[in-house]
Structure formats: structure tokens, C-alpha cells
A = this chain, B = another copy of it.
Amino acid sequence: MRARPTLEKVAARAGVSRATASRVVNGSTRVAPEIREAVNRAVDELGYVPNQAARSLVTQRADSIALVFPEPATRVFSEDPTFSGIIRGVSMEIEEADKQLVLMLTGLAGGYQRVERYATNGHVDGVIIASMHGTDPLPGVLARRGVPVVCSGRPSVPSSLPYVDMDNVGGAERAVRHLVEQGRRRIATIAGPQDMIAGIDRLNGYRAVLRDSDRRSIVAVGDFTRESGTSAMRQLLADDPELDAVFVANDLMALGALTALRQAGRQVPGDVAVVGFDDIPAASYTEPPLTTVRQPTVEMGRRLARMVLDLEEKAQVMLPTELVVRGSTTTP
């Protein structure tokens, strides 16, 4: 491996000073065309690429941003494409801005300190936190230390930190209203964990519509895993054998619920209509295909990245969700 050329070398070859070479490389306009040309030629010939460490040292910028996933998220990761959507969206914007994406999957306890140490020391220009639990101390800590932070998902304690959230309440409302419109009378729900804002919001949406349409709420709580969906569904069937619809707070649990319904001999959507949330790929392939609420995950990633890169104003943003009607709620 031959030594990488430095700016000095480029400058020498182009017959200019290091300062001028730097100006050209960084795209300053105040350089005479012929000199700019000469420097660019030297850059090409030498295959020069700026040394990021040296640049960071003086500019105090790192040209990279961190995307932090708490470990529990990573576990879900495998079956839930929400996170891969976010990663892709973030990655696109980061790439466009010619910066780097540092991925941090924090192990439980120790991980926080690692992220905090890493992020508060200028290694990174900003941090995106794909927080599952709205009570994470990390965003607040980083913000207080002066690190730009943006969260995916609204924190459960009100704060002034910028975030990008999905319209979970609205999505749940639309889903449940859809069930009402289909003439369903006893609409149950399998809620998500109540320490996650998505879980809370989706349950609230469900409750709001039931209240308005004069129906009783029937609630079981799961933890967003498929297994918990199965057992929650069983419990619901035991609690109210007459139920004719169920709104499930995510698709994974909805898949589990479908299993339980099949085992209980209930027809979907004939006996029981089912709506999920997330629109994971598997939702199109269930028998019958699952009606669900689609979330713009890639878009979420893009917005998160744009905010943390200061390409758009840091704000508290809510992204619209969309009801996708399939066979689990309607017969063709």
C-alpha cells in the first residue's frame, strides 16, 4: 500500500500553496479558473482524498451521525421491517449529504454510557435515537450536553426535543372506524406494551372510536411479539366468545391472533374481522391477507436524518399513516 497523498503533495504538484489547494478541494469560488483546474488535475492524478481525521480536528465536525437502536429494538428487528425502513431512509439522506452513518446497537445497561461518551465528544455531529420506550434518559442527556438529537417516536414525557412520530392515534382510529363501518358490534383489541408510546397511542385511538360509536371496549395486552398475539387472542375469545372483530396493535401480534382464531375454528373475516398495524410484508401473504395500517418508515428515516443534519428545521413532526384494506376485514 503506497502512502496516501496529502494536500501538501497535491499543492506541490499543482505549483500552488497548501492553502489554495485546500480552497479548491473545498469548493471555494474565489480561486482563479486556471489554478482551480491545475489543482483538480493534481488531485485526480494523485488520487487524493482528504484525511477526515485531520479535517475533523480543525473543523470540530465529524461528518458523521449516529443512529442508535436500543437492544430490545434490535431483537424485534428481525421480523419487523420498521427498523430496516428507518435505516434505509436515514442512509439515503446521509449518503446524499456525503456523511457517514454510525450504527450503534446498545446492549442494555452499559450501552448508554458508551453512546453518551461517544456522542458527547464530538465524534458525531448528531444522534438519531430509534427509541422504543418514550422514557429513555439518553435523548435528554445528550441534548443537555449540546449534541443535536432527534428521536423516532414521541417521548412519553412531554419535552421540547424534536421528534418524528407516526400518527398512531389516527391510524388506530381509522382502523377501528373501518371495523365499525363494516357493521362489527363487538370490537376487541390486542394492545401493545403500555410503556411504549406506540402501544399507548394505538390503544387510545381504539378507545376514542369505541366511545364515539357506543361500543364496549374489550382489551388484552401483548408485547408486540407473535406469541403474545396468539395468547392474547385466546384470552379475548375466552373473555367474550361473541366478539366479531379485533384491532391488533401490530402485525406480528395480528399474525399470532390469526393462528389462535384458526385454532379456535373462527372464520376470518366471516366470524371475526382482524386489523393489524405496520403493514409488514407478511401481512399481504396471510390467509386471508391482513387489513392493516401502513407507516411511512423510509420517509421517517429521511426526515430524522434531514433534521439532525439541519437540512430542515428540527421540529415535532407527525407522519400520516394509511389504512390498507385487505381480505381480513372484507369479503370481496
Contact = CB atoms under 8 A, between A and B. Distances in A.
A313 B8 CA distance: 37
Interface stretch (A117-125, A133-141, A186-194): A117-125
B103 A103 contact: yes
26 contacts: A1-B145, A4-B122, A50-B121, A53-B57, A54-B57, A67-B103, A74-B84, A74-B88, A77-B81, A77-B84, A77-B88, A78-B84, A78-B281, A91-B104, A92-B107, A95-B107, A95-B111, A95-B114, A100-B102, A100-B104, A102-B103, A103-B103, A226-B281, A255-B285, A259-B285, A282-B282
Nearest to A120: B49
B102 A88 contact: no
A325 interface: no
Contact of A84 (B49, B57, B84): B84
B118 A100 contact: yes
Interface string A80-96: 01001101100110010
A105 interface: yes
Contact of A79 (B53, B91, B103, B282): B282
A114 B100 CA distance: 11
B79 A281 contact: yes
A84 B50 CA distance: 32
A182 interface: no
Interface string A193-231: 000000000000000000000000000000000100000
A120 to B, nearest CB: 7
